[in-house]
Amino acid sequence: MTDSNFNADTEGFLRDLQQAFRVGALLRLVLSKYKGAEVDLNRITIRPVQIKEQKLLSFLYEYRTNHVTKNLTIEDAIAQFQLWFGRDFHNAHMITDEWETQLSFSKKGKVLINKNRNKNSTPTGAASVDKTSSAQPELAHNRSKLRYVEQDRPYLHELGITDANGQIIPAMSRKWKQINKFIEVLSTAIQQTGLDKCSELHIADFGSGKAYLTFAVHDYLTANLGVKTQVTGVELRQGLVDLCNQTAQKLSLTGIKFEQGDVQHFSAQGINIMIALHACDTATDYALNMGIRTGAEIIMCSPCCHKQIRPQLKSPALLAPVLQHGIHLGQEAEMITDGLRALLLEAHGYDTKVFEFISLEHTSKNKMILAQKRKTARDNTEVLQQIAAIKAFYGIQEQCLETLLQSEPHK
């Protein structure tokens, strides 16, 4: 940057940036109008990330055909901006919780600054009451909630969740909510199991479909946590596998790949996180079995189509008037199937939770089974007895996961 550009406005802009970064109010900084030597560079999007307890700035270099990410400390970033502003980049747009500030450099070296309230900031009601100490956690919570997934991530645009301006396409808003909720749940589990301290993680996503969540996991682990990540999506349909591999290639992503295969015949080793979301019927059992056998620290599944148990259920005669309605029978089969799966996970060394995940339009597939591997072994006699008693009560002859766990060796 030339001395003539380094005026009070630029210094003020950099001071505001440092301050916003320090208090956790910085949302993003976009550098554009690039005039530097790299032919294909369009712009750089910068946002705060937390990597192994260190707050850094993640720089996403957006080239014409690919993207590259680099993480810098705030001090190194400021030094870089002092070199770039007015020489390589002629526009810097900073967005914080409260402000949007535009810093522009004209061809003649004039510096213009334009600062306005962020229209999308915390609602005025919340902002006006945040003087009280009780309002602060709420604001902090909102901030962290916003940060699980940033709207400007390139994969979101490639998968049709955002438009060219990084705005959520209205028809995809439910998917967007689902991605955020999923990453929120995953992020908590990762911290609780200590996986965020690992230098490398292996993830398998069974029944990856169009892979919205597969790409989200890869992006979160690599860009937000800075962990070297290998994600494998396994999918029955070759067309989807090809499409997802093309998308990964287009985004120049390494560490994510898709394989055609049936989870029933797939064999995997050394998986840290096993994901199976809406994999049909007993495909969920095969995925759970694989997760347990491979000793995954985290198992996340959202089951669907509970067909195996339903025809086997023998309920007490007293309940016949209730269960004469097919929908109730279906709900009962679902509850017993997933209840048994959760107990089997408990019996095989996992702390398990079953809870509502997020509902998608026109579907009730909103249940999540989240299992985290215990650090110390526990006697499983009582849980195995509970499983046997429930099976006997309902006259259940076979449950796929139980059969798989009994027939195959596991860790």
Ligand X SMILES: C[S@@+](CC[C@H](N)C(=O)[O-])C[C@H]1O[C@@H](n2cnc3c(N)ncnc32)[C@H](O)[C@@H]1O
The count of C-alpha atoms lying within 13 angstroms of the C-alpha of 163, restricted to the half-sphere facing its C-beta, is: 7
Stretch that binds ligand X, among 29-37, 113-121, 133-141, 202-210 (CB under 6 A): 202-210
| Residue among 234, 256, 342, 371 that touches ligand X (CB under 6 A) | 234
| Residue among 212, 258, 350, 357 that touches ligand X (CB under 6 A) | 212
| Residue among 97, 196, 219, 235 that touches ligand X (CB under 6 A) | 235
- Compute the least distance from the CB of residue 281 to ligand X, in Å: 8
Sign of the four-CA dihedral 209, 212, 215, 218: negative
Give bridge partners of residue 145 from the DSSP assignment: none
- Compute the least distance from the CB of residue 372 to ligand X, in Å: 20
Q: Is 161 in the site for ligand X (CB under 6 A)?
A: no
C-alpha to C-alpha distance for 404 and 390, rounded to whole angstroms: 18
**Exposed (0-12), middle (13-18) or buried (19+): which is 27, by Cβ within 10 Å?**
buried
Residue type at 85?
F
Stretch that binds ligand X, among 5-13, 158-166, 185-193, 207-215 (CB under 6 A): 207-215
Judge contact between 233 and 244, C-beta under 8 A.
yes
Q: Is 208 in the site for ligand X (CB under 6 A)?
A: yes
Report the residue number, 154 or 207, with the smaller CB distance to ligand X. Answer: 207
Judge contact between 198 and 227, C-beta under 8 A.
yes
**For residue 77, how far is the Cα from the chain centroid?**
26
Place of tokens 């550009």: 5
Q: Is 280 in the site for ligand X (CB under 6 A)?
A: yes
Q: Is 279 in the site for ligand X (CB under 6 A)?
A: yes
What tokens appear for 359 in the block?
């509902």
C-alpha to C-alpha distance for 275 and 217, rounded to whole angstroms: 10
Q: Is 201 in the site for ligand X (CB under 6 A)?
A: no
Stretch that binds ligand X, among 5-13, 77-85, 271-279, 388-396 (CB under 6 A): 271-279
Report the residue number, 155 or 206, with the smaller CB distance to ligand X. Answer: 206
What tokens appear for 77 in the block?
């970033």
Q: What is the pairing mode between strands 298-304 and 273-280? A: parallel
Of residues 325-384, which lie at the interface with ligand X (CB under 6 A)?
A: none
C-alpha to C-alpha distance for 290 and 299, rounded to whole angstroms: 10
- Compute the least distance from the CB of residue 287 to ligand X, in Å: 8
Q: Is 262 in the site for ligand X (CB under 6 A)?
A: yes
| Residue among 22, 110, 145, 237 that touches ligand X (CB under 6 A) | 237
Q: Is 176 in the site for ligand X (CB under 6 A)?
A: no
| Residue among 56, 283, 296, 333 that touches ligand X (CB under 6 A) | 283
- Compute the least distance from the CB of residue 321 to ligand X, in Å: 34
C-alpha to C-alpha distance for 342 and 369, rounded to whole angstroms: 7
Backbone dihedral region of 86: left (phi > 0), alpha (psi from -120 to 50 degrees) or beta?
Answer: left
Report the residue number, 58 or 302, with the smaller CB distance to ligand X. Answer: 302
Q: Is 77 in the site for ligand X (CB under 6 A)?
A: no
**Phi and psi at residue 130, in whole multiples of 5°?**
-75, 0
Which position's Cβ is nearest ligand X?
A: 209
What tokens appear for 387 in the block?
């499983």
| Residue among 236, 244, 273, 333 that touches ligand X (CB under 6 A) | 236
Report the residue number, 52 or 237, with the smaller CB distance to ligand X. Answer: 237
- Compute the least distance from the CB of residue 244 to ligand X, in Å: 10
C-alpha to C-alpha distance for 84 and 72, rounded to whole angstroms: 15
What is the four-CA torsion angle of 57, 26, 64, 167, rounded to 10 degrees?
Answer: 140
Q: Is 213 in the site for ligand X (CB under 6 A)?
A: yes
Report the residue number, 142 or 366, with the smaller CB distance to ligand X. Answer: 366
Q: Is 243 in the site for ligand X (CB under 6 A)?
A: no
| Contacts to ligand X by CB under 6 A | 206-209, 212-213, 234-237, 240, 262-264, 277-280, 283
